[in-house]
């Protein structure tokens, strides 16, 4: 297992991060513990969760994922692990979290941190991330900015001041963002520099063969400002395994939870998936191996977030992450990207 510095932090993280959003919904506590044991045994020291998990978010299961991770952490060497979680942003119709309405003001962030610490059974969180911005911006399958959707939101400097207080208190170590755009990341970095507050060390965004939007603006920002990408959805909610090509009703997140189709059920997704699947097979790989290996080899990636619903799937994903694509395969991927540019932004 390769280990890398996360952004400009002192965190040394495995090149693979175990995503846990299925724990408590598609996976039981025993399943989750088995995955955590397997990942840790493989050298994975980085675990990502969130207060709103599992997905899809429901009042009945809210917080279950952190609780499952927390019950596993009790028997582990805490100082050998890097634990990341997230505070939910506003306007997602989940007022059961923190009693609603959700916001990113001081009271909400502090309440969220205390809840996560309690469920995780730990005294500190290594990486605390804002799950999505408070302000209006396109995300989760939206593909353009809508000025008509403007809303009031806690200013970015105020959010960062609260996070800085929590760093000073030892409750969190580093700050990260998620589902963020270049303007938002730059505003956080500007506020940190102007006010002497902690700098963001990572941004967790969707990134895969169907969605390389990160490369258009955030890649330069992250390179120049020493911020790592933590890519999620590297298989496009299963689309990039190719299983939906032959059977649109194949068991998976998209068939079990159709609401996720807003991001991955777009006109050019199917032909793009078919083209990448053909490329993979011509080079002796499964479509999933190609998709994972591509993301794992990107120079701006700090750690690839991999989730699974079975141990077999997890082990296969871990092996794929260690594969390196040659220049010929990468050139063919780029040629397909020019033909099917970001079909699922």
Helices (H), the chain: 29-41, 64-73, 106-120, 156-168, 182-195, 218-225, 243-246, 253-256, 261-264, 269-282, 287-296, 311-321, 327-339
Measured between alpha carbons, how far is residue 239 from residues 14, 126, 191, 345 in Å? 26, 32, 38, 14
Please indicate whether residue 207 is annotated as part of the active site: no
302: how many CB neighbours lie within 10 A of its CB?
Answer: 26
In the block, residue with structure tokens 């999933």? 288
C-alpha span between 219 and 241 (Å, rounded): 26
* Secondary structure of residue 287 in the 3-state scheme: helix
Instruction: Note the residue count of the chain.
Output: 345
Question: Radius of gyration over alpha carbons of the chain, in Å?
Answer: 19
Q: Is 170 left (phi over 0), alpha (psi -120 to 50) or beta?
A: left
What's the rounded Cα separation, in Å, for the pair 288 and 320? 8
Q: Is 199 left (phi over 0), alpha (psi -120 to 50) or beta?
A: beta
Which of the residues 53, 128, 207, 244 is marked catalytic?
A: 53
Catalytic residues: 53
């Amino acid at each position: 297992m390769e280990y890398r510095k996360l952004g400009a932090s002192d965190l040394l993280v495995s090149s693979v991060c175990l995503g846990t959003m299925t724990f408590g919904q598609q996976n039981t506590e025993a399943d989750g513990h088995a995955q955590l044991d397997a990942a840790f045994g493989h050298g994975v020291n980085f675990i990502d969760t969130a207060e709103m998990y599992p997905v899809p978010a429901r009042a009945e299961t809210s917080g279950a994922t952190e609780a499952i991770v927390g019950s596993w952490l009790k028997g582990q060497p805490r100082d050998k692990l890097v634990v990341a979680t997230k505070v939910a942003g506003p306007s997602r119709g989940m007022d059961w979290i923190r009693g609603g309405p959700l916001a990113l003001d001081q009271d909400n962030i502090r309440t969220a941190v205390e809840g996560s610490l309690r469920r995780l059974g730990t005294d500190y969180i290594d990486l605390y991330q804002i799950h999505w911005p408070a302000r209006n911006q396109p995300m989760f399958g939206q593909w353009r900015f809508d000025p008509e959707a403007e809303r009031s939101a806690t200013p970015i400097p105020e959010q960062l001041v609260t996070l800085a207080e929590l760093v000073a208190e030892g409750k969190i170590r580093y700050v990260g963002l998620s589902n963020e755009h270049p303007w938002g990341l730059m505003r956080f970095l500007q506020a940190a520099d102007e006010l002497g507050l902690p700098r963001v060390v990572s941004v967790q965004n969707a990134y895969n063969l169907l969605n390389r939007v990160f490369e258009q603006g955030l890649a330069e920002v992250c390179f120049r400002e020493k911020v790592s990408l933590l890519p999620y959805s590297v298989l496009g909610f299963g689309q990039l395994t190719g299983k939906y090509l032959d059977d649109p009703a194949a068991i998976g997140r998209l068939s079990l939870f159709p609401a996720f189709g807003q991001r991955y059920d777009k006109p050019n997704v199917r032909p793009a998936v078919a083209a990448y699947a053909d490329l993979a097979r011509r080079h002796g790989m499964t479509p999933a191996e190609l998709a994972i290996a591509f993301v794992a080899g990107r120079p701006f990636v700090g750690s690839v977030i991999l989730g699974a619903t079975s141990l077999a799937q997890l082990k296969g994903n871990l092996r794929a992450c260690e594969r390196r694509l040659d220049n010929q395969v990468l050139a063919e991927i780029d040629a397909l990207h020019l033909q099917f540019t970001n079909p699922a932004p």
